[in-house]
Amino acid sequence: MEQTDKKSNDDFVFGIRAIIEAINSDKEVDKVLVKRGLRGELVKELFDLVKIHNIPLQHVPEEKLNRLTRKNHQGVIALISPISFYELEHLVSLTFEKGETPFFLMLDGVSDVRNFGAIVRSAECSGVHGVIIPEKGAARIGPDAVKTSAGALFKMPVCKAASIKSAIKYLQNCGIKVFGASEKTEQLYYGQSYNNPVCIVMGSEDVGISDEALRSCDELVKIPILGEIQSLNVSVAASVLMYEVVRQRIN
């Protein structure tokens, strides 16, 4: 029980008033979970605040909240992120201002925490300037993700995008070429040049990159698969592509 309480203090805040105070105190709230059907003036105040701060809100059964804590959560739990998020525009500008060649990684639908952490670890090692994730449908950035990343999440800038398509368009307008990793192409990843500003887009293992994002990419590339499994773990595939960028830029 003591371990559960400690985790609660580090990983989430519960109770309507406590969550309102956390948001007003600029805590990095990742998501707010609300019991289905919850009503009241204080609840409305919370909803208005969540909307103003553009915090994802999810209506869930009470059982899910009870699994997180046995204390009086009042039907609301806020998941707290251990990191602060960056604005994409600021990060892109900062990279250009440093005189460096932008190298970004975008994760479209990677929801497994262990895969996400492993990808961020490889991204930090390969000199990626920032990892871009969607506001909804991304892996939960909590203690497990930090642990799997070997602490790289504290060093790697992470940006949340309201729309992956819009984020791709913004990067393209900044002169950054966007490569999507997909089996729906004949172009092999090592046949492309990554010496100019680039962003690599990786999708989820089950469905890959969303169709909308796929159509928005400048180029699609694939890793040749010679075995019978026909797919690599997304963290492994991301590492292969990131280190091709490293190889070309070092050479």
pLDDT tens, the chain, 251 aa long: 223 333 444 589 999 999 999 999 888 898 899 999 999 999 999 999 999 998 889 999 999 999 988 899 999 999 999 999 999 999 999 999 999 999 999 999 999 999 999 999 999 999 999 999 998 889 989 888 999 999 999 999 999 998 999 999 999 999 999 999 999 999 999 999 999 999 999 999 888 999 999 999 999 999 999 999 888 999 999 999 999 999 999 98
**Residues 228, 130: one domain?**
yes
* Last-in-domain residue among 80, 112, 142: 80
Return the axis-axis angle of helices 164-173 and 88-97, rounded to nearest 10°: 30
Type of residue found at 82: P
Residue 114 belongs to a domain with what CATH number?
3.40.1280.10
* Last-in-domain residue among 28, 57, 80: 80
**Residues 34, 94: one domain?**
no
**Residues 106, 35: one domain?**
no
**Residues 67, 93: one domain?**
no
Q: What pLDDT is attached to residue 56? A: 87
CB-CB contact of 202 with 106 (8 Å): yes
**Residues 149, 66: one domain?**
no
Token pair of 189 as six digits: 């990843």
Q: What pLDDT is attached to residue 10? A: 57
Q: What is the extent of the structural domain holding 76?
A: 2-80
Q: What pLDDT is attached to residue 6? A: 34
| Residues belonging to the chain | 251
**Residues 66, 110: one domain?**
no
CB-CB contact of 15 with 64 (8 Å): no
Please state the φ and ψ torsions of residue 149, each to the nearest 5 degrees. -80, 0
* Last-in-domain residue among 40, 63, 80: 80
Please state the φ and ψ torsions of residue 150, each to the nearest 5 degrees. 60, 35
**Residues 136, 34: one domain?**
no
Neighbours of 94 (CB within 10 A): 16
**Residues 106, 45: one domain?**
no
* Number of structural domains the chain divides into: 2
**HSE value, Cβ hemisphere, 13 Å, CA-based, for 190:** 7
